[in-house]
Structures are given as C-alpha cells and as structure tokens.
Structure 1
Amino acid sequence: MTLRPPVEPMLAQAVESVPGSGVLGEPAFEQKFDGYRALLFTPTGAGERLLVQTRRGRLIQDRFPDLVAAAEQLPDGLVLDGELVVWDTAAGRLSFEGLQRRAAARGRAARELAASLPAFFIAFDVLQEDGVELLRHPYRRRRLRLEALFTTHRLKAPWTLCPMSTDLIKAQKWLESWTDVPGLEGIVVKAMNQPYRPGYRGWYKLRWRDTAEAIIGAITGTLARPHLLLLGRHDTHDRLRSIGRTVPLRPEAAHLVGENLTAADPEHPWTGMRFVSAWGSRDALDVTLVRPELVAEISADTAVDHGGIYRHPVRFKRLRLDLTARDVSRFRADPGTSAS
C-alpha cells in the first residue's frame, strides 16, 4: 500500500545510557541533530509535488521552496524520515532559531530566507521506495536501501545522509566530542532487526549534557519543599534573564534547597512575569519568587536558544553555596536578538 501523509513517525525515548544487547540485540547508532522531525514524500503521479510533513502531521513544504526546487534529484514514490535543519550562512552553523523563522515564513518571505538560511534534510530512514512500502523490513535492510539511494542517485545538498555506525566506541566519541558542535545533540540508538512502527517509542536517544551554573529566581511548590526551580542569569546590563527550569527535584534535593531559600523582596526583577510549563507551551506555572542569590549547578543538553535559554528542562545537581550570583556567567544574547 502506498504511504500518503499524514504518517505517524516512529519515536525515541530518552535514556541515560546505551541499552544492553539484551534489549536491542545488535545496535545501530545515529547522530541526533537539533531540528524538526519531518517526513518527505515525493510524487507518485502526474501533477503531484514534494510534500514535507511535520511530526504532528502538518504539511509545510510551502515554507521551504529550496527543498521543493531540489526535489528533482529524488525518484518518485519515495518516503523518507529525517530531520529538517537550517544553516545560518552568516554565523556558519546550524541554527534552530533560523529554522523557526523558516517554518513561519511563506511566499516571498520564504524565498528570501532560503538564501541566508538554506534548509537541509538529513535522512535517516526510508519508509517507501518506488511506491513500495518498507515498514515491515528490518532497519538493517532499510538502511542499506537508504545508502544505495544516495549512491545511485548521487544525491547532494540539500539532501544529506545521517551518519550511522554499529561501533559503540565510535558512538561514545560522538557523544564526548562531536556533540559540542552547535546543532548536534547526541545519538539515537536503534536495533538492526527492528521494523518501523509508526507512533511507537522503540528507539532510544542520549543527549550530550554539560554542567553549568545558574541563579535560582523562583520555584514551584513551597519554600520548604520546592518542586521545580526557575533559573536565570544576569545580562550585561545586570538584568536577571530567565533561562529555563529544572525537572522535578528529588526529595533530598528539595529538602536541601528549601533550607536555603528566602522569600523574594518586593523589588524582585521577575515581579509580574508569567512562566510556562514547557518550551513553546501556553500553560502557566504557579510560581513563588525567591531572592535571586542562590546558585545551582545544573546539567543541561545542547538545545540552547538566544544566548542561553534552555529549551528542555535541566537537571539540578547541587547547590553551589561557595558561589554568589555575581560568579555565574552572564547571559549573552546572540547577535541580532534583543537584550531587553
């Protein structure tokens, strides 16, 4: 049966370490890029054109005319799964902010942005080829067909083959060194004998994490037993900028933090601010402001926007009672972003 959008993609669950061979059998490791998950459909008949579907089923090919123009490189009847990313030509790096701009632009604006923020599709799976659906085939066979597709058709930018290895040592090196490059988040672990199961979390993702410090500016829960910590850093004008929040604290950590919190003074810089439950969400948190003087050591992944805003919740590691708020590194907005 020919696949048509919307198709629900197979998903990955976050883990702290590579699952053992008893879980996966023979594993495969792919680099994980910081972009938009997307499925790509080439025409299956006359009068059709390239379709680009988001993870949630929306069609967004009108936002990416550069991909549509390059579709002539691809054969008909093809469905690819991959990551949509954008290259910032001025900054010389992958840019999630640039991807957001591209995804919001249409018409003339989309065509103009394509010059300075060209899009790339990083393919890591093939779900259909020559109109034949491949979901039941094991990943090993699908990967071989994907590699052959790139070789046979001599595909070039904006089409990119996602790096993959079955060597655990090589994958660990990716985590330890390669993922400190902006745009690379970590690795995805798959089983070589897995079929493609739409909507099923059968893969595993490990994000590279770094340690940093941040100022505790607010909490959820109570002063005695905080649940989440809302974090900030001072910018170059000494204004406390919100940078994200933690995952829920463990009981022992909540007890320790609660012993050191102090209720906010009336002139707290975040008075009147609204905080949401997750990046991109509209659901407001019920927060209590605290004196912005405690420093938390945190563990965070590489998904960071606008000079220091974490898109994913960070992990609280410990209090740094040996540091003051002035010891925490400054929030520095990217060039072209507002510092207000």
Structure 2
Amino acid sequence: MTWTLPEPMLSSPVPEPRLRPGWAAELKWDGFRALLSVDAGKVVLRSRRGTEMGPAFPEIVAGAAQLPDATALDGELVVWEEGRLAFERLQNRLQRRGAGATRAADEAPVHFVTFDLLRLSGTNTTRWPYQRRRAALESLFAARQLTAPWALCPSTTDAEAVREWLTWGAVGMEGVVYKRLDGAYEPGVRGWLKYKVRETTEAIVGAVTGPAASPRGLLLGRYDDQGRLQYVGRTTTLARATGNTIGSHLTPGEPGHPWTGWTFSAGWGTQRALEVHLVQPDVVMEVAIDVALDSAGRWRHPARAHRVRTDIGVDQVPLFGE
C-alpha cells in the first residue's frame, strides 16, 4: 500500500534568537516548503498546503532516482542565482508544465534543501528524536553521495554559528529554526521555533490603500542614484488609530507624481492590482522589515510601520538598493 505523506510540522515565532540548551538550530531558507516521498517508484512532491508540485519541478522528480525507495523527506525548494536566493524564480515556476517546466528547469534549476527525514527505506522515522533523525539524514547523504538537486540543510548546536547565520540576510537567508534534540516530528504541530531577522529602516510614503486621511496600508519608496522614486515594498495592514495618525501627515499626490500610471500587485501569485491613492512623497516612515529581497531589490515581505519620522527629510532616507 502506498505510504501517505504526513502534514508538515510547523514552527512558532520567538522574539529573540537565543539557542536554548537541548536544542539545535537550522538555517531558515527563502523558498517553498515541500515534502517529498518515493514509494514503489512513484514520486510525490507536495506543498505545505497539500498541492502537488511535481509537474512544475521535473528536476526534483527526476532527482528522486538517487534516493532509496520508500523514503520521505521534508525540506525547502530554492533557486540560487547570482549569489543569492531568488524566490521570484520559484514563483514563476508554479504554473509551468510539460516542455515549459523542462525549459524553466534548465534555465533556473531548483534545489531541494533537506532538513528532516520522515521515512527511510520503509521505516517511519517521525517518532525518532530529532538527533537520531538528523544523524540518519546525514548518513543518507553520505552513503548515497547525493548530488543536485539535493542539498543538506546545515544544523548546529553552536551559538556562535547561529550568530554568524543571522548576518546572512543579504543572500536571502531569513533567520533560523530551532528544534529540540529529543523532539519527535509531530505533523501539524507548532513544536519548532523560528526567529526571523528584522531590521528597522526608513522609506518614503508614495501611495496608500484605503482613504488617504486614514490609510489601511502604505506603499513605500526610495530614490535611486538617478533621482527616481522606486517602489520598495508595502506595509502590513495598519490599525485604525495608526492610520489616522499617519493620514494627518499626508497630502494628495499632485500632477507629475513619479508613480503616475503605475500599477501595484496585490501579492505574490495574483494578477489582481491594488487600488491605491497617490500621496506627495514627502513623508518618511520608520519601518521594520524582513531581510528577504526579490531580484529587483524590493522587500518581499510586508514591512511593519513604526512611526512617522518628522525629524528627517526624504534626502536622508537610504537610496534604493542600499
């Protein structure tokens, strides 16, 4: 009988990156969570939400020939391009099938960064403690001499290594995930911990969603070295009181606004455009951002608005790309 992949084990956020005694840390990758099984020659590649992704990533399906039969892995699909993780390359692959998926695999091959072992040669390993699962996973990579598309996620119990990992945001690493050394793999349970690197920085408000007097969200920009206002990202939904406070500083955009005629996507994987109102780009916001960027240098995750910076001008905001 074909073995069924379990639900993925999940993580809960923590506010600081302390490595606790009895825990290990792994890198948190900017990609797509995926579970893979090989059973009687059948390969299943499933997203966190249960969507079958095999047809979109034929290089992963083909690479499963390197694995022993009746084996299942948990990991992250990533694309490495020009010295950084390129999430948008993954996003563009989801709808590809057949020859289109094969061409995309040649142009921007995907790797499966493996961080957990769910089944090994017919043995269900989910009840094993993490330390044992990790040792078996490392042995699998060594014994099989696994090569691309397979990669082994680093794991450490060294706090100094964790501190170094937290400086790798420029290449797309989002932070770290913590796992108890004696913890089982519990499907659907938020038993792991995660710390995502965030920075506080400044950006210019160029447009808003919702009414300008009490915006629901802010579209943020920075000037490039040619003096052009470039879109860098948007905020999470604002609380009403916060929106009212920010709205009191905004004025409607005038003719010749640098974003006149622009459209802004409502999010990854959708063709829907945001309904926005342009405002004069003269208000500076302090925001907290994730370190993950897309290939254009924009913030991939929504920023969190902290406060209006009335003490600095737009010429003091970091340039786009800095």
Q: TM-score range by the shorter chain?
A: 0.7 to 0.9
CA distance in 2, matches of 1:255, 1:162: 45
8 A Cα contact 2:13 2:193, kept in partner? yes
Unaligned runs of 5+ in 1: 333-340
Aligned match of 1:30: 26
Q: Deviations over 1:104-123 (max 9, x none)?
A: 32222322332331221110
> Does the alignment pair 1:85 with 2:78?
yes
CA distance in 2, matches of 1:170, 1:68: 33
CA distance in 1, matches of 2:293, 2:109: 20
8 A Cα contact 2:232 2:299, kept in partner? yes
8 A Cα contact 1:307 1:331, kept in partner? no
Aligned match of 1:335: none
CA distance in 2, matches of 1:252, 1:269: 28
8 A Cα contact 1:29 1:171, kept in partner? yes
Aligned match of 1:67: 60
CA distance in 2, matches of 1:278, 1:65: 26
- Show the 5 A alignment for 1:1-340: 3-5=3-5, 7-18=6-17, 21=20, 26-42=22-38, 44-45=39-40, 48-88=41-81, 91-175=82-166, 177=167, 179-220=168-209, 226-234=215-223, 240-249=229-238, 257-265=246-254, 268=257, 270=259, 278-280=267-269, 288-331=277-320
Shift of 1:237: 7.0
Q: Deviations over 1:304-339 (max 9, x none)?
A: 22423222111234433344334444546xxxxxxx
Shift of 1:4: 1.9
CA distance in 1, matches of 2:19, 2:56: 41
| 1:13 maps to amino acid | S
| 1:189 maps to amino acid | Y
Q: Deviations over 1:116-149 (max 9, x none)?
A: 3122111000111112222222222211211121
CA distance in 2, matches of 1:232, 1:205: 29
Shift of 1:208: 2.0
8 A Cα contact 1:2 1:132, kept in partner? no
Unaligned runs of 5+ in 2: none
How many residue pairs get aligned? The number is 321
8 A Cα contact 2:293 2:300, kept in partner? yes
Q: Secondary structure at the match of 2:101?
A: helix
8 A Cα contact 2:86 2:295, kept in partner? no
CA distance in 1, matches of 2:211, 2:57: 47
Indicate the RMSD between aligned Cα atoms, in angstroms: 3.1
Shift of 1:240: 4.1
Q: TM-score, normalised by structure 2?
A: 0.84
Q: Secondary structure at the match of 2:50?
A: coil
8 A Cα contact 1:301 1:314, kept in partner? yes
| 2:154 maps to amino acid | P
Q: Secondary structure at the match of 2:171?
A: coil
| 2:281 maps to amino acid | P
> After alignment, is 159-168 or 95-104 more displaced?
95-104
Q: Deviations over 1:226-257 (max 9, x none)?
A: 55322123457765443322235578865753
Q: TM-score, normalised by structure 1?
A: 0.80
8 A Cα contact 1:182 1:302, kept in partner? no
